[in-house]
């Protein structure tokens, strides 16, 4: 695991990728900082940091696009997968490297509040809170990018798809107020979800009978609950969507409030995606294509 981490980190700095990422991020944030805080003589640094998320969304694919797709292309994945390390160790090693690059980048932006602190009192709690939130959010974005990279074979498509995936979690915020909230739509939504999951099960296992029976049983349960206690389905769609919205959870950090629920959410989101990624790699061994 550490060997992979070390190699990855080195390769970030031996190839242009880390410099492109850091350069882009720091240039854009520097421009924003200069115009919004320095020239405007504004000491609201936490808000500024919050607005950096958008820039981060744009550049995070630069960091993660090559993580697995390049390995597959140059066949070096054969070295990793035939070495005595588990897929999960590979994934974690590969996750820690871009996380470290991200951490360094974030550490550099620490100069900005330092600069401001000479000219007035800063709200330290808010700034630290925002940094912690930003780091957790960034880690989640990076895991998403890694998952996409493990599922694609070219860097370009990895970059584009991870960009879309991250934007999607962003857009989820805007969808929440407009989706239907009635219990009936909630129940239908649950059935569609079950159908999609069981269709995947069928596709992977080829067991049609089991999938059909499972679908019938779980649909019946959904229906029974609907008739017994319909309010459970109230705004189910919105709840589900807000679960994937990474940015909603960010909103308390800039206020200097670190809620345990948010921290746990980000950590478990990252852990889940990393686990799925390791399964994705494991699955490739069983692939039906050459």
Partner 1 sequence: MIKAEELSKNYGQHKAVNNISFHINKGEIIGFLGPNGAGKSTTMNMISGYLSPTSGSISVNGFDVTENPIEVKKSIGYLPEIPPLYMDMTVMEYLTFAGELKKVKRHDLKEDMEKIMDLVKIGDVRGRLIKNLSKGYKQRVGLSQALVGNPKLLILDEPTVGLDPKQIIEIRNLIKTLSGDHTIILSSHILPEVSAVCGRVLIMNKGNIVASDSPENLSRRLEGTNQLHLKIKGEKSLIEKAIESVENLTNISCGDADESGISDLYLEAQNGADIREEVFYSMSRNSLPILQMRPIDMSLEDIFLNLTTMEKEA
> DSSP letters of 258-276?
--HHHHHHHHHHHHHHHHH
> Is residue 18 within 8 Å of 97, Cβ to Cβ?
no
For residue 56, the minimal CB distance to partner 1 (Å) is 26
The set of residues, in sequence order, having a beta carbon less than 8 Å from that of 262 and lying 6+ positions away, is 133, 136, 249, 250, 252, 253
Q: For residues 79 and 272, which CB has a smaller minimum distance to partner 1 in the complex?
A: 79
Q: For residues 4 and 237, which CB has a smaller minimum distance to partner 1 in the complex?
A: 4
Tokens in use for 209? 């009978």
Gap between the Cα atoms of 38 and 40, Å rounded: 5
For residue 79, the minimal CB distance to partner 1 (Å) is 4
Kindly provide the residue ranges of all beta strands, DSSP E only, lying in the chain, ordered along the sequence: none
Instruction: Give which of 179, 187, 220, 213 is closest to 198, Cα–Cα.
Output: 213
Q: For residues 15 and 34, which CB has a smaller minimum distance to partner 1 in the complex?
A: 15
For residue 156, the minimal CB distance to partner 1 (Å) is 18
The set of residues, in sequence order, having a beta carbon less than 8 Å from that of 28 and lying 6+ positions away, is 55
Alpha carbon 222 to its chain's center: 30
Q: For residues 83 and 221, which CB has a smaller minimum distance to partner 1 in the complex?
A: 83
Q: For residues 228 and 285, which CB has a smaller minimum distance to partner 1 in the complex?
A: 285
Q: By CB under 8 A, name the binding residues for partner 1.
A: 2-4, 6-7, 10-11, 14-15, 74-86, 285-286, 288-290
Gap between the Cα atoms of 82 and 229, Å rounded: 52
Count CB-CB contacts under 10 A for residue 243. Answer: 13
Q: For residues 1 and 38, which CB has a smaller minimum distance to partner 1 in the complex?
A: 1
> Is residue 249 within 8 Å of 259, Cβ to Cβ?
no
For residue 10, the minimal CB distance to partner 1 (Å) is 8
Half-sphere exposure of 167 (CA within 13 A, CB side): 9
């Amino acid at each position: 695991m550490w060997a992979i981490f070390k190699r990855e980190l080195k390769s970030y700095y031996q190839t242009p990728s880390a410099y492109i990422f850091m350069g882009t991020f720091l240039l854009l944030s520097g421009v924003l900082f200069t115009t919004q805080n320095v020239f405007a003589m504004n000491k609201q640094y936490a808000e500024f940091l919050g607005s950096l998320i958008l820039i981060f969304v744009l550049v995070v694919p630069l960091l993660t696009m090559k993580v697995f797709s390049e390995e597959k292309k140059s066949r070096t994945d054969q070295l990793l997968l035939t070495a005595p390390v588990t897929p999960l160790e590979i994934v974690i090693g590969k996750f820690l490297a871009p996380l470290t690059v991200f951490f360094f980048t974030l550490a550099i932006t620490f100069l900005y509040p330092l600069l401001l602190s000479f000219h007035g009192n800063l709200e330290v709690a808010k700034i630290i809170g925002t940094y912690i939130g930003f780091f957790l959010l960034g880690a989640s974005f990076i895991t998403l990018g890694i998952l996409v990279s493990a599922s694609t074979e070219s860097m370009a498509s990895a970059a584009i798809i991870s960009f879309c995936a991250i934007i999607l979690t962003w857009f989820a915020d805007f969808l929440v107020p407009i989706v239907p909230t009635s219990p009936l739509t909630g129940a239908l939504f649950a059935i569609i979800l079950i159908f999609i999951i069981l269709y995947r099960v069928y596709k992977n296992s080829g067991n049609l009978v089991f999938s059909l029976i499972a679908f019938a049983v779980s649909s019946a349960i959904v229906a029974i609950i609907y008739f017994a206690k319909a309010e459970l389905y109230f705004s189910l769609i919105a709840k589900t969507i807000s679960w994937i919205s990474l940015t909603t959870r960010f909103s308390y950090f800039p206020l200097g409030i670190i809620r345990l629920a948010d921290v746990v959410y980000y950590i478990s989101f990252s852990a889940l995606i990393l686990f799925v990624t390791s399964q994705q790699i494991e699955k490739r061994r069983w692939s039906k294509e050459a």
